[in-house]
Structure 1
């Protein structure tokens, strides 16, 4: 898996699924990317852990009572667990193994609740130095919570509420009526920060969807939805990069016979419809795992890593036969086209993109020259053919 993008598991538990939900109609690949964002930005993560542990430890030293000692112990254990789970998840994601996403999300929520608890007991302790330190720390954490977790806006909202909410509920115990304004201020602050997280999430999803569409359009033919020349080149390079000589790799180059006549007779709209029907039929004819691409005009490529030797010719003949069956462009127009095919295979015709495409193109030209609507496998190069010739017996030597 070296060089592949790490993939973090989507949450599976009902609560964590709700916390990490990004809204309806979000493609699965974007959901994976948003979950991966929860595990990113390590500097902010480490800074947040260090800050909360340092603050809880200093306050516990200043006020060594059981509530503060328990808060400090909880904070240290929770932060340590979050760090361990994060490192395990990153390692598993790099190997494309299931990651403890649910546990990681719940630990994040528990960490926020710990900060809120510390703020509550600090405010009600009467020690304004500790209260000021803890409240400043809690407020500072809100920015990091939003920045790290806006990929899961509900989770961000819950963490903000757990972090700052206890500050509001502590105000009735402080003996300062002016502080009751917090019941008005903090809810609005929590709401606005939560809405900001939802807004950032919506912008991110829209941006990722646009990038996804642009990437698709760059690599696919808009008429048929098949990979275009760029997409084919990438797929073929990837196949050649992992080629180990133990499995077949074939490039099937296909050109329609008589397409121009249909295009000229019935118009470009009918020609486009025919190309779509040919594409659909090609998808059904090839094996699962084979790639079908349209590289321009009425030219198609099938990239197969499953058929080699004799079966290649049978595959080509089958494609010629099936693609030559009539097509219904509408209720009144039925047309027929032929298909000429040239096939090259690795390693006989090379182990690079240019060599394989050149050999397949030459075989296609030969199929056209031989009368069209037929399949030709590119002949072996001289070097390969010479290796197949029987070796001459050595001359006997006269003593």
Structure 2
């Protein structure tokens, strides 16, 4: 589960990682009681990135401007997600911006420290400058200093950045995190460092071992349990095809093919790419399950097109989740010429038809498990798109 920025910074503050004075804003009028002196920055609290590029981060000089900016941000969709809360934070003048992160490398099964002198919104442009240090034995200050040196830091910055990395690692281990990221770590003209933005991903399988995290979410959000972090993006108001993919590129390509075939997507969900540093197999499965629950309850959805490339999560486990969303097997009653009988359970169950294309390990097992629920497993994307569009058009007639 991902935490929002203001939740992550609450953990940063408790661990002694330097953060700015801030205040949670639930409605624009809360800014009348702002205790942080102006100027301040208002930040949309959403799980998706790219806030700064689309207007989700704004600097304001007074209360009138702050209220107007907050109203705009609350009504700004970022990849289909609207913020329920904003973070008001003191302005910080940074001479430099670094990138720091700790993640779990599932290939070597060890934590990896990441760092770069190029941070902020353009960090992806400087990926070739990213330094990494694998924590091969029991963690010590040596690993943090080694990362600082590989980043090319000198003088007092070695000590100040190493100190932050050590505290990040403590937080990482104590809370069974999949990812902890500070981007950017601001450096002032005097050499002081400040965590200007932060991201934390908690391992889904370890959540029950950390009731203090759930208590933190409850206290900050006023909810009894963590909320879903999936973001289903609406498309055509008269569409009939819901699309589920993993990875932004695969999602966009699938939507383009649906349009080219004469179909109309009603919505899409990117459940997360395996190439992301914060990827969790449990998270992918949870996102798929929640996405299917939502899409199959939408009466306007005639077809759910699932296109996944899954290696870390075996295809048979993905198939189990898909089959569970359909329910019990139903006799094949398809009369649609040229369409596989897979997915025509919709008429009998009032469920959307399912068109599934999976690529990855254990595809043979996945095929047999889906077949038991009258769902065909396709390995050709063009064929899957053609079938999805045909089913959607048949549902309209």
Tell me the TM-score range normalised by the shorter chain: under 0.3
TM-score in terms of structure 2 length: 0.22
Bigger-Rg structure (1/2) = 1
Q: Which has the higher strand share?
A: 2
